[in-house]
Structure 1
Amino acid sequence: MSVTTIFDGIIIGGSGGAIGGLTVYLVQTIHKSIKEKTESKRVFNWLIENTSDEDGKKFRSTRAISSYTNLTEDRVRYICSTHEKIYLSTGKNEDRWSIHTRKTDIVAGAW
């Protein structure tokens, strides 16, 4: 065997390994993205159906969302906290989520 043949084998093996590694990484990234989108859509649609813009019906607990969407509470918290249209309650009722915007009174020059 010549030195050239050995180097060719090393280059081909290294290239094949790199291409395989990148392929696995891309497939995992795409799978994670699709899974997050579908779970996020599931939570958002559930909130659309089970909340209303009336007092006392705006927010739902993480546990309730988790129970009906078959996701863990930690997963629901993560999805709700990263979703741009889902809002966390502020005030005495913590760990509740809604799709209805928080209405705040803004007074001009109050800061």
Structure 2
Amino acid sequence: MAGIIKLNASPDCLGVCVEEPFSGQFSSVKALFPMIGAVVLECEAQGLPWSFINLSKLKVHATGKGNAKKPDMQAAAKARWAVDLGEDEADAAWAAAFAMDSNLFG
């Protein structure tokens, strides 16, 4: 994870947004905790602000519905940016849009 941040965080990067784990089953998300820790540690080492984003709030921001599915997120991205994005790309774009629209990183 640290390598990904170093590789992709340009000098004008305002911060890093991380989706909060969304499963109620600990066994489903326990593998995410070390990765989240690595992201936070690298952000701190690089002096980058970071924020966790609640998945339901992100979906509401993108589509108006807290239970939106991946195709809904993609359709909302297409409507906003006039580009076709893959499922993960749309989620990442909406995380960035949420941060910018909410002025998370001032």
TM range (shorter): under 0.3
Q: What TM-score do the two structures reach when normalised by structure 1?
A: 0.26
Query: Which entry has the higher C-alpha Rg, 1 or 2?
Result: 1
* Larger RCO (CA under 8 A, 6+ residues apart): 2
